[in-house]
Amino acid sequence: MSMKKIITLCLLFFVLSIAYNNSFASSEVGGKQETSLNEKVGTKNLSGVNLWIVELYNNDRFMYAVVVVLVMAALGSIMAFGTDLVLKHFGINVSRISHSE
Amino acid sequence: MDIFNISLPIAGIEFNALLLLLIGFCVGVLGGFFGVGGGWIVTPALNIFGFHMAYAIGTDLSNIFGQSIGATVKHHKMGNIDWKLGFISIAASVVGLEIGSQVILFLEKAGDVGSIVRWCYLFLMFGLGSLMFYDYLSQNPARQKGKLGLSVDPINSKPKKPKRSISERLHNINLPPMISFPASGIRSVSLWIVLLVFLFTGFLSGFLGVGGGFIRMPALVYLIGVPTVIAVGTDLMSVLFSGAYGCFTYAIKGRVEFIAAFIMLIGASIGAQIGATAVKYIKGYGIRLLFAIMILFAGCSIALEQIYKITEIPAFQSTAGIVLMGTAVIMTFIIITRLFLEVKKEKKNLKLSRN
């Protein structure tokens, strides 16, 4: 299986989960009752990035979820790439290995 | 250490940033090395240190998703992922998971489901750990060689027929359609057997409320017959998908503490790369032995937690946390030390062969 196919499958999986969760979110938020989907966090004493995150959390939960997923994916990839470079610098080379017990 | 305390507005608590980095790093190394998400380590750890359970699970799932990206790519580069087997495992596990969660809902109506789940969890941890430990002691090639060299009388002793493993027996069941997994070196196995195994592991993860990596990895090795390092890589790939879904669904419900997940992921992604690299240098049996020890100690921690639930003495709960985190830290140290020793040995051998 090529990497392109894997990436396409991952994207498809992600889009499907967005669609599923979004329909769930919109059906729940419509009601007046306070649920985990529409509860708010106080912004008192907050500034900068913290304030931005909390405002996003309070005002648009769907965008908050998208930002969390994208930032986690980006940070995970960048850190992994950086660590790989450092390990290579120490002479720890990672290539295809033979599988033996 | 208070200067490292940061405010986590969504979870509504203050938490030590260094502790978050340490938890992330340890679970990253263990996740990359064993091919598990590590939710059974992080969630109780965050909970013990002050996170509300729902935030602990959501934050942990976000961290699992981020850390498994890099580790999965690394295992893919090393040829450790059987994609065909991985996708079958995801499909069957989802069905099993749903059945497991339905059983939980049914039991919830009947009475105290928490206690039943904890006893099952305990039984599974000790059973799995003991089985893997026994397997290491009885099957390890180095130990076998030592045994043969001791007191075997070549004239009087009858040659023993080698025992067939569970996976070999399962491979011999001829129930069409048969399927092959060339990446794992499996020539032919009934698709029904594969589906049944993953249905069962999925059921357990739905029933116990865990990601299921620590159940799937041994199942791949002992029931399907996948080499350990491919089991690690393939399991990690499944963890990536479930982590992505878990991260999104918990975030939309507002149960992900973004700042904590971000800090934890810095440590976790560094750790995951180190853990995944260590797989190249430590043999399959070594991985299984360390995994067995980790599972047994995690079982001890759950046993202490269970005693706390019965006696309500807080000391048992804090000891459970210390046992779990202590084992994770020691195991991380062992893996990193082994990695650097093996690299040193490899470099020395390379130097000698050049001369």
Instruction: Answer with the residue of higher pLDDT: A20 or B18.
Output: B18
Q: Is the pLDDT of residue B264 over 90?
A: yes
**Which of B84, B87, B247 has its CB closest to that of A68?**
B247
Encode pLDDT of B296-342 as tens digits: 898 888 888 888 888 888 888 888 888 888 999 999 999 999 888 88
Q: What confidence tier does B266 reach under pLDDT thresholds 50, 70, 90?
A: very high
Q: Residue B352 CB: number of other CB atoms within 10 A?
A: 8
Which helix H or strand E contains B329, and what residues bound it? helix B314-354
For B138-145, what is the mean pLDDT? Answer: 62
Contact criterion met (CB < 8 Å) for B251 and A6: no
Closest CA to B54 of B201, B268, B203, B209: B209
Find, in chain A, the residue whose alpha carbon is nearest to that of B347: A91
ipTM, two decimals, is 0.76
Q: Which residues of A touch B70 (CB under 8 A)?
A: 76-77, 79-81, 83-84
| pLDDT value of position B21 | 92
Find, in chain A, the residue whose alpha carbon is nearest to that of B136: A101
Q: B239 with B213: CB under 8 angstroms?
A: yes
Quick check: bond before B182 cis, omega within 30? no
Contact criterion met (CB < 8 Å) for B254 and A87: no
Task: Give phi and psi for B250, each to the nearest 5.
Answer: -75, -35
Q: Inform me whether the C-beta atom of residue B252 falls under 8 Å from chain A C-beta atoms.
A: yes
Closest CA to B41 of B25, B54, B17, B52: B25
Q: Inform me whether the C-beta atom of residue B253 falls under 8 Å from chain A C-beta atoms.
A: yes
Contact criterion met (CB < 8 Å) for A87 and B269: no
Please report, for chain B, the start and end positions of each structural domain, with discontinuous segments joined by +: 2-139+166-354
Find, in chain A, the residue whose alpha carbon is nearest to that of B68: A76
Chain-centre distance for alpha carbon B264: 18
Interface size, chain A vs chain B, as Cβ–Cβ contacts under 8 Å: 168
- Tell me the pairing of strands B5-8 and B178-181: unpaired
Closest CA to B219 of B241, B242, B195: B195
Encode pLDDT of B164-209 as tens digits: 778 888 888 888 888 888 888 888 889 999 999 989 988 887 777 6
